[in-house]
Structure 1
Amino acid sequence: MDKKKFKLGLLPKLIIAIIIGILFGQFLPEWFCRIVVTASKIFSTFLSFVIPLMILAYVTMGIANLKNGAGKLLLITVIIAYGSTLLAGSASYFVAHNLFPSFMSPDALEQIAATAENSLETYFSLSIPPLLDTLSAVVLAFVLGLCLSTLRGKTIGDTLYNGISDFSGIIDKVLHSVIIPLLPLYICGTFTDMTKSGKTFAILGILWKVFLVVIIMHLICIVIQFIIAGAVSKKNPFTLIKNQIPGYATALGTQSSAATIPVNLQCAEADGVSEEIRNFVVPLCANIHMAGSMITITACATAVCLMNQLPISIATVVPFVMTLGIAMIASPGAPGGSIMTALPFLYMIFGAEAGDPSGPICAIMVALYITQDSFGTACNVSGDNAIGVIVDTIYQKFINKNPAKS
């Protein structure tokens, strides 16, 4: 028998990249560190070029594919999924805003502020202007997606849909073959620069506490979602949670909502969700329900703002969460997909200068998010099945006059 080839996951790679970056910055000469930072900067420039294209491809296809549902059920599912995502992000901000300041001593914040301008210069840089800005990409994606959802089945609709589908496949290939594999280089360069400038150790002293709080919020979110699902369906919520364990564990390992769909369908079957509903809700919610990711992104953004003494309030968080809840449609198919989609919108939290997708603050945001991505994905897929239980109950009681056995 052939032995399975060992493959190191993205999370271990990023942890190794952080460690290597710290070691480079701590022990190697400045000329070598500048080489690493130069390579990282070139990648960040390419990333800025790809991000609008990724938004255009993923959001267009995500909206266009929403036609694959049935009327009322589609509307109900989308409203519940979007509402869950918004509530999760808002709750995450309130917890982070009230709890995280206690983690951050004035001395640590002063140390971070004192090193804010101490960055290594690159040996050279490349200019790769994006084909369109991110706002234009979002608007164009909405226009194309909504039109395709109406035109599909007609000649022009099918032709354009197939073209966008091929384009989405190309961007997906770039994400899997270039962006995700080179993320460790990006993070390594960032932490090399941070270590040389003196930021790293003050920041790392804070991040482990943030990580712990975010994981606890994920678990609380899952429990609340299944308690609500249990109350609506009159099923034992703890049995529902027990049934979800295989899906949760699979999501932890794959870091992909899409890759977890087959296992999540089995979990939904164990919950007693009818076949027609679970086959509709689970794949749909894998693309539109991102409560766990929103918890992580909002908490990490709040932590980064506090560490860099950037202003943040509920007035800036709510529009950010509302925008991201739509923009992240179909982004969780690959590890890190949510934060890659969120990057161009971080200016809504960090401001125009600090929110530069290729800048050091956004790089810290990516590193902090990726270390918790698997837990956020596991929270996402668990909530998908809670929504499935709710939608199935509504379907059986109010829509389907002759309930089919699950």
Structure 2
Amino acid sequence: MNSWFKNYKGIILLITGIIIGSIAGAVLGNKVEVIKPIGDIFLNLLFTAVVPLVFFAIASAIAGLDGSQKLGRLLGITSLVFVGTVLVAAIVTIVAIWIFPIHQHLVASPITEAITKKPFGDQLTSLFTTSEFYQLLSRKSMLAMIIFAVITGFAILNAGEKGKPFAAFIHSGNEVFKNIFVLIMKMGPVGLGAYFAYQVGVFGPQLFGGYARSMAVYYSVGAFYYLVIFSLYAVIAGGVGAFKRYWRNNIIPSATAVGTCSSIATIPANMDAAKKMGISDAIANITIPLGGTLHKEGSSISSIVKMAVVFALFGKSFDNPQTIIVALAMTVLVSLVEGGIPNGGYIGELLFISAYGFPPEALPPAIIIGTLVDPMATLLNATGDTVAGMLVARFAEGKNWAARSIPITNEP
């Protein structure tokens, strides 16, 4: 019990703070406006920390590569499988939202800050680049900063011995800003509690109706993806035999993921399961550890749901092609970025809010949704790594990989 509480302590405290704040807002009404600055301070600290945090995390990860980790055929196939499955998860969710529209049950937020409209070409240019270095320090230029961080990481690699002092600085900065983010998130229960007290007190409790419906959509899509899409992947990878092996050996990783609420903590269980599923050590040793940080199908689904809710709260359409293309790109980016960062899901929310030009007030609704879906998201993130490993084995070793990997005596 103590271990379970330790794993879910952050979520429990966050939800408790939000509930207490919401009750205070319902009881006190407009009087809670006095505590609004507390919520604003919390949001400002988050937005201040996110730019250097993401920069150091990405640059450090790339600068830490060695010769054995550089892209080869196997790593290339793994990357394609990871990106492909994340996109499938996003597309399935978009279709589900079109069938069961969240926006029909949400009242547009009284926050009326306009989102600047630009031609699509100008939007892409400003999304991926800036004309001045200092503009990279703004959260409104997050994608441009990420591209610059990637370039910086590879530049450190190319510099060799001469780049090692700067690499040490980048690695040190990564550790420092991860801890800064952890410290800021300790204010989460109080900061978000104050925010929701203000929202409920001033605008009314009807704001929460849409959250319940968005949760229903998320958990329905998540259950469908876990049972149906993962099964489909296993069949594609190795037929009915691979399907049976996947589900026979997926119970322990699933329980571990839900019990720990951590994809990283599930890696040992996934490694053991991968061996029993017939995935070779050469593939498992790459796909499972990388998947723990870079492969996030559950996060992909939650990203789309959060985007749909935020768009609805701001009275914006989430069904035009430009918006969908950016949303798909954001889900892949979020999957890659959030894994190595504590509370990485919040980084994903900061990224898409910045990319679409929403004001800071769009963050708390996205955070509460991300918090409520975390157990299912972790389940999908973690258990999707082994079936992804099966797909990598199929494309790297041929259609008979399973027969070569598993002795006949182990077949059902």
TM range (shorter): 0.7 to 0.9
- Residue matched to 1:161: 167
- Residue matched to 1:46: 45
Find the aligned partners of 2:400 and 2:249 in 1 and give their Cα distance.
26
Count the aligned residue pairs: 375
- Decide which of 234, 238, 246 is 1:233's aligned counterpart: 238
For residues 324-366 of structure 1, give each alpha carbon's deviation from its aligned partner in whole angstroms, at most 9, with x where no partner exists: 41354241245631332331332444xx2xx12xx22221111
Q: Is the 8 A contact 1:88 1:294 kept in 2?
A: yes
With over 3 angstroms needed to count, the CA separation of the structure-2 counterparts of 1:237 and 1:404, relative to structure 1, is closer
Query: 5+ residue gaps in structure 1?
Result: 118-128
How far off its partner does 1:214 sit? 0.8
With over 3 angstroms needed to count, the CA separation of the structure-2 counterparts of 1:321 and 1:148, relative to structure 1, is farther
- Residue matched to 2:149: 141
- Residue matched to 1:211: 215
Find the aligned partners of 2:347 and 2:57 in 1 and give their Cα distance.
11
Find the aligned partners of 1:69 and 1:58 in 2 and give their Cα distance.
18
Structure 2 length as normaliser, TM-score? 0.81
With over 3 angstroms needed to count, the CA separation of the structure-2 counterparts of 1:377 and 1:304, relative to structure 1, is same
- Residue matched to 1:10: 10
For residues 297-335 of structure 1, give each alpha carbon's deviation from its aligned partner in whole angstroms, at most 9, with x where no partner exists: 111211232243212224212223214413542412456
With over 3 angstroms needed to count, the CA separation of the structure-2 counterparts of 1:11 and 1:399, relative to structure 1, is same
How far off its partner does 1:372 sit? 0.6
For residues 196-241 of structure 1, give each alpha carbon's deviation from its aligned partner in whole angstroms, at most 9, with x where no partner exists: 1224x22222221211221121222233133223332233424413
**Structure 2 matches for 1:67-216, cutoff 5 A?**
68=69, 71-101=72-102, 104=105, 109=107, 112-113=108-109, 115-116=110-111, 132-133=137-138, 134-151=142-159, 154-176=160-182, 178-199=183-204, 201-216=205-220
Extract structure 1 runs of 4+ deviating beyond 6 A.
403-406
Q: Is the 8 A contact 1:328 1:338 kept in 2?
A: no
- Determine whether 1:379 maps to 2:386: no
With over 3 angstroms needed to count, the CA separation of the structure-2 counterparts of 1:207 and 1:326, relative to structure 1, is closer
- Residue matched to 1:25: 25
Find the aligned partners of 1:69 and 1:276 in 2 and give their Cα distance.
15
How far off its partner does 1:71 sit? 0.6
Q: Is the 8 A contact 2:218 2:301 kept in 1?
A: yes
- Determine whether 1:304 maps to 2:330: no
Q: Is the 8 A contact 1:297 1:339 kept in 2?
A: no
Q: Is the 8 A contact 1:273 1:388 kept in 2?
A: yes
With over 3 angstroms needed to count, the CA separation of the structure-2 counterparts of 1:390 and 1:374, relative to structure 1, is same
**Structure 2 matches for 1:322-333, cutoff 5 A?**
322-333=329-340
Find the aligned partners of 2:3 and 2:374 in 1 and give their Cα distance.
25
How far off its partner does 1:18 sit? 1.6
Q: Is the 8 A contact 2:22 2:197 kept in 1?
A: yes
Higher helix residue share:
2
Find the aligned partners of 2:61 and 2:332 in 1 and give their Cα distance.
12
Q: Is the 8 A contact 1:256 1:334 kept in 2?
A: no
Find the aligned partners of 2:247 and 2:181 in 1 and give their Cα distance.
33
How far off its partner does 1:63 sit? 3.9
Structure 1 length as normaliser, TM-score? 0.82
Find the aligned partners of 1:298 and 1:49 in 2 and give their Cα distance.
24
CA RMSD of aligned residues (A): 3.1
How far off its partner does 1:282 sit? 0.6
Which piece of structure 1 moves more, 363-372 or 298-307?
298-307
How far off its partner does 1:164 sit? 1.8
- Residue matched to 1:278: 284
